[in-house]
Chain A
Amino acid sequence: MARSDKTSKTGRRGFLKGAAAGAAALVAKPPLAEAQQAQAQKGVTPQPSAVQAARETTPPPHVDVYTTDRPGSDFMAEVIKSLGFEYVAANPGSSFRGLHESLINFGANKDPELLTCCHEESSVAMAHGYFKVEGKPMMVMAHGTVGLQHASMAIYNAYADRVPVYVLLGNIQDETWRRSDVEWAHSVQDCASMVRDYTKWDDAPISLPHFAESAVRAYKIAMTPPMEPVVIVADAVLQEEPVPDADRGKLRIPKLSLSTPPSGDSAAIAEAAKMLVAAENPVIIAGRAARTPAGLTSLVELAELLQAPVQDRRFRMNFPTRHPLFGGGNIADADVILALEVPDLWNATNSMTPINRFGMETKRLTKSNSKLIHIFAGDLYSKSNYQDFGRYAEVDLSIAADAEASMPELIEACKKLITADRKRAFADRGAKLGEAARKTRESDLEKASYGFDASPISTARVSAELWNQLKGEDWSLVSDVTFFSFWPLRLWDFTKYYQYLGGHGAYGIGYGAPAAVGAALANRKHGRISVNIQCDGDMNYAPGVLWTAAHHKIPLLTIMHNNRAYHQELMYVQDMAARAQRGIDRATIGTAITDPNIDYAMMAKAYGMYSAGPISDPKDLGPAIKAALQVVKRGEPALIDVLTQPR
């Protein structure tokens, strides 16, 4: 139990009720305001009016002054601290001002520490990126109305990416406590309704004991696979009013007991092992297979045991990128496919008519007699409105469980079935896959050589320049690289879980910059160098996060992928123009980010960050990275604006 009537360390609040001289001025504003306005309009320095002078020199009338040593928000802060949050990200808002004050004063602004954010979308995306490194949630505070509206896309990203973001919303439920039109506009009957389609659980507690129970419950639900965002509402009256004397001895914080992740049914796991060991050409498809470093370790053990190739869908750091089993195999030849937490399994095993053809036909990519096994926690929890669940995949053995939790038992089950003959067959298979991986690597290096000296700078060149200076460091790539032709994944040596985090989840743009800052914050205490390859279009959604990084001294190297366009959309519009046989030279209208060109180095500088660029000559890039890394190593963010090839 963590209740307290004690005065905080900061010496705040004695419950005083009586006269106070300064308060007198608060109760008679209009005449004074009018007098000041009149003076100001005349361009004269305002002088104290007779009324004001009298108020300041004569004893005040008796007024009640309200202070307390125990606002409800102090107890809320205790509940929040009990959950172990390191940080709370927030753009300040009046509906949670009580809790804000309690966290920074009663809670001493530590565990959680408040992060000043410039947009609620940034707050949530920072929490999203932070979780993928640290493995535990960050709390976000926002208005239940306008703040949540800003935050909603980022919450959807986290939902689709199976990331538990803990969102706390301020609201004034009781209309008689809403003091102004602002507070009416910032109040809502049911805060969480707007995001209920893409959050796992929410509640709007009506008492402090109710808040404590729901806050702990929300954390537990968020952290049980499939992990998802949750919402808890902190009513403003509960925050700001004193804890009733009668309740002071009764408040307690419930014990948090996290659930063990669900592992697969033993019989089903045994059946999967039988199929995999007997297979001649098994392929493993990894989605969000690794939730933690242990998942990566287990997947390596499983793949090596079976000498089965791992095709990584790039949602997480599932498998080392230079491992001989990484990326090989062909599902068209596979007799058994093991899918691990693959949200787009149908897309991984089928093809559709491409965008340059009319109509829609689908084709199965796998053999008709191949067997598909899927271990998927998504089967334990689904919603219907938003369609991130993808097309229905026809699976032969569907195991509704968490893949990471299930892999140890699957490994043991396989070990029991592997004979000496199978071991020899696996070794032959592994040798062929290793040779194929070596050729793929050679081919990638040769591909990287094309356009290596070009300007704008090729994405392969940027990646090679970065690797040249990161290779001896403890680094973490904190951005998605889909729009960078995946060059870092093709060239760098990814071995550790925190070195790659995957992408947006729901592909909502505006995720990249704040998620990188959140991930870099998680890396900071481990002394890792965080690198963000930052798309220009994404940066412009909420660039204020650069200030957050500078203000909180979050070391992060940002390399602008400045191709001066919403390039994916540019290609789509170009395709439509070709289809319509007109205006193929006009697709940049509405998609290019030019005229004027944006100076990201200047932008970063304005937010208080070291910056360089724009750099268009590849020869200048290496020295610029070297200088920026020195800044990052001393604990600050740095940004290099690089004019890049489109992809």
Chain B
Amino acid sequence: MKIIPILVIAAAFLLAGVALPQTPATGDAAKGKALFLKDGCYECHGYVGQGTKDGARIGPPVLNAQGLIRYVRRPSGAMPAFTEKVITDAELTDIYTYLKSIPAPKAVKDIPLLDQLK
């Protein structure tokens, strides 16, 4: 197997500075988590959406559900577009609900292993 060094598969779901009205998610977090794994979102964004060098941090998301769906359909970065043929709006809403359920991390000052790195 050979690999290509510059990794370009995935990119931001979220775009800084894109202001969208916040609407409550109405999906199912458990279904969303299962879809997040089954449909491979974790591959670039990590199992809890923490972000990697290949995909932006999306857990918890800063976009609302509509913003996330809009980005998945027509991503402006290096993320592939996922059309309605492969994932429905309802499924994306479930994924959004799962991501929204992920708690925010502790502050760096409260994580000794990181705080010592300051």
A and B pair up: yes
Q: Chain B interface: which of A88-96, A296-304, A561-569, A629-637? A: A561-569
What 0/1 pattern do residues 64 to 100 of B give for CB contact below 8 A with A?
Answer: 0000000000010111111101110000000000000
Closest Cβ of chain A to B11, distance in Å, is 8
| B105 & A450 in contact (Cβ 8 Å cutoff) | yes
Tell whether A482 pairs with B46 under 8 Å between CB atoms, given A450-B59, A464-B114, A582-B86. Answer: no
Closest Cβ of chain A to B51, distance in Å, is 6
Is there a chain B Cβ closer than 8 Å to A451's Cβ? yes
What 0/1 pattern do residues 449 to 463 of A give for CB contact below 8 A with B?
Answer: 111101010111100
A-chain residues with CB within 8 Å of residue B10 when the two chains form the complex: 571
Closest Cβ of chain B to A263, distance in Å, is 29
Question: 8 Å CB contacts to B: which residues of A572-587?
Answer: 572, 574-575, 577-579, 581-585, 587
Q: Chain B interface: which of A112-120, A281-289, A440-448, A522-530? A: A440-448
A-chain residues with CB within 8 Å of residue B48 when the two chains form the complex: 450-451, 454
> A459 vs B79: C-alpha distance in the bound complex, in angstroms?
21
Is there a chain B Cβ closer than 8 Å to A16's Cβ? no
9 contacts between A and B (CB under 8 A): A354-B78, A356-B8, A468-B113, A482-B7, A567-B43, A582-B85, A584-B39, A585-B39, A647-B46
| B39 & A355 in contact (Cβ 8 Å cutoff) | no
Closest Cβ of chain A to B23, distance in Å, is 24
| B7 & A569 in contact (Cβ 8 Å cutoff) | no
Question: 8 Å CB contacts to B: which residues of A493-518?
Answer: 503, 506-509
Which of chain A's residues has its CB closest to B106's CB?
A: A449
| A509 & B114 in contact (Cβ 8 Å cutoff) | no
> A460 vs B10: C-alpha distance in the bound complex, in angstroms?
19
Which of chain B's residues has its CB closest to A492's CB?
A: B117
Determine which of B6, B57, B117 lies in contact with A347 in the assembled complex, contact meaning CB atoms within 8 Å: B6
| A566 & B1 in contact (Cβ 8 Å cutoff) | yes
Tell whether A571 pairs with B54 under 8 Å between CB atoms, given A452-B105, A467-B117. Answer: yes
Closest Cβ of chain A to B101, distance in Å, is 14
Closest Cβ of chain B to A10, distance in Å, is 45
Question: Closest 3 A-B residue pairs measured CB to CB?
Answer: A451-B50, A647-B52, A578-B80
> A456 vs B47: C-alpha distance in the bound complex, in angstroms?
8
| B39 & A485 in contact (Cβ 8 Å cutoff) | no
Is there a chain A Cβ closer than 8 Å to B53's Cβ? yes
Is there a chain A Cβ closer than 8 Å to B9's Cβ? yes
Closest Cβ of chain A to B81, distance in Å, is 7
> A581 vs B73: C-alpha distance in the bound complex, in angstroms?
12
> A356 vs B81: C-alpha distance in the bound complex, in angstroms?
7
Tell whether A356 pairs with B78 under 8 Å between CB atoms, given A450-B59, A451-B48. Answer: yes
| A507 & B5 in contact (Cβ 8 Å cutoff) | yes
| A356 & B105 in contact (Cβ 8 Å cutoff) | no
A-chain residues with CB within 8 Å of residue B79 when the two chains form the complex: 356
Tell whether A584 pairs with B40 under 8 Å between CB atoms, given A356-B75, A445-B108, A647-B52. Answer: yes
> A578 vs B72: C-alpha distance in the bound complex, in angstroms?
11
Closest Cβ of chain B to A128, distance in Å, is 17
| B40 & A574 in contact (Cβ 8 Å cutoff) | yes
16 further contact pairs, Cβ within 8 A, besides A579-B80, A583-B86:
A354-B78, A449-B106, A450-B51, A452-B105, A452-B106, A482-B5, A485-B52, A507-B2, A537-B1, A572-B9, A575-B9, A578-B83, A581-B86, A582-B86, A587-B43, A646-B42
Question: 8 Å CB contacts to A: which residues of B29-58?
Answer: 38-40, 42-44, 46-55, 57
Task: Name B's A-contacting residues (CB within 8 A).
Answer: 1-10, 38-40, 42-44, 46-55, 57, 59, 75, 77-83, 85-87, 105-108, 111, 113-114, 116-118
Tell whether A465 pairs with B113 under 8 Å between CB atoms, given A356-B81, A574-B40, A647-B46. Answer: yes
B-chain residues with CB within 8 Å of residue A446 when the two chains form the complex: 108
A-chain residues with CB within 8 Å of residue B9 when the two chains form the complex: 355-356, 571-572, 574-575
B-chain residues with CB within 8 Å of residue A456 when the two chains form the complex: 47
Is there a chain B Cβ closer than 8 Å to A486's Cβ? yes
Name which of A450, A575, A585 has the most chain B CB atoms within 10 A of its CB: A450
B-chain residues with CB within 8 Å of residue A355 when the two chains form the complex: 8-9, 78, 80
> A567 vs B45: C-alpha distance in the bound complex, in angstroms?
12
Closest Cβ of chain B to A163, distance in Å, is 17
| A645 & B118 in contact (Cβ 8 Å cutoff) | no
| A647 & B39 in contact (Cβ 8 Å cutoff) | no
Residues of chain A at interface, number, CB under 8 A: 56
> A449 vs B104: C-alpha distance in the bound complex, in angstroms?
9
Closest Cβ of chain B to A341, distance in Å, is 16
> A509 vs B4: C-alpha distance in the bound complex, in angstroms?
11
| B83 & A509 in contact (Cβ 8 Å cutoff) | no
Which of chain B's residues has its CB closest to A566's CB?
A: B1
> A2 vs B24: C-alpha distance in the bound complex, in angstroms?
84
| A508 & B81 in contact (Cβ 8 Å cutoff) | no
Is there a chain B Cβ closer than 8 Å to A570's Cβ? yes
| B86 & A447 in contact (Cβ 8 Å cutoff) | no
Closest Cβ of chain A to B59, distance in Å, is 7
Which of chain A's residues has its CB closest to B9's CB?
A: A571
B-chain residues with CB within 8 Å of residue A575 when the two chains form the complex: 9, 80
A-chain residues with CB within 8 Å of residue B46 when the two chains form the complex: 451, 454, 458, 645-647
Determine which of A451, A509, A646 lies in contact with B43 in the assembled complex, contact meaning CB atoms within 8 Å: A646
> A468 vs B3: C-alpha distance in the bound complex, in angstroms?
32
Is there a chain B Cβ closer than 8 Å to A491's Cβ? yes
> A464 vs B114: C-alpha distance in the bound complex, in angstroms?
7
Tell whether A581 pairs with B85 under 8 Å between CB atoms, given A449-B105, A464-B117, A509-B2. Answer: yes
Closest Cβ of chain B to A570, distance in Å, is 6
| A578 & B82 in contact (Cβ 8 Å cutoff) | yes
| B54 & A508 in contact (Cβ 8 Å cutoff) | no
B-chain residues with CB within 8 Å of residue A566 when the two chains form the complex: 1
A-chain residues with CB within 8 Å of residue B1 when the two chains form the complex: 509, 537, 566, 569
Which of chain B's residues has its CB closest to A509's CB?
A: B1
Tell whether A647 pairs with B54 under 8 Å between CB atoms, given A445-B118, A465-B113, A566-B1. Answer: yes
A-chain residues with CB within 8 Å of residue B75 when the two chains form the complex: 356
B-chain residues with CB within 8 Å of residue A442 when the two chains form the complex: 118
| B81 & A578 in contact (Cβ 8 Å cutoff) | yes
What 0/1 pattern do residues 572 to 615 of A give for CB contact below 8 A with B?
Answer: 10110111011111011000000000000000000000000000
B-chain residues with CB within 8 Å of residue A460 when the two chains form the complex: 50
| A581 & B52 in contact (Cβ 8 Å cutoff) | no
Closest Cβ of chain B to A541, distance in Å, is 9
Closest Cβ of chain A to B114, distance in Å, is 5
Closest Cβ of chain A to B83, distance in Å, is 5
Determine which of B3, B57, B85 lies in contact with A568 in the assembled complex, contact meaning CB atoms within 8 Å: B3
| A450 & B81 in contact (Cβ 8 Å cutoff) | no
| A647 & B78 in contact (Cβ 8 Å cutoff) | no
Determine which of A445, A584, A645 lies in contact with B86 in the assembled complex, contact meaning CB atoms within 8 Å: A584
> A646 vs B52: C-alpha distance in the bound complex, in angstroms?
8
Name which of B39, B48, B77, B85 has the most chain A CB atoms within 10 A of its CB: B48
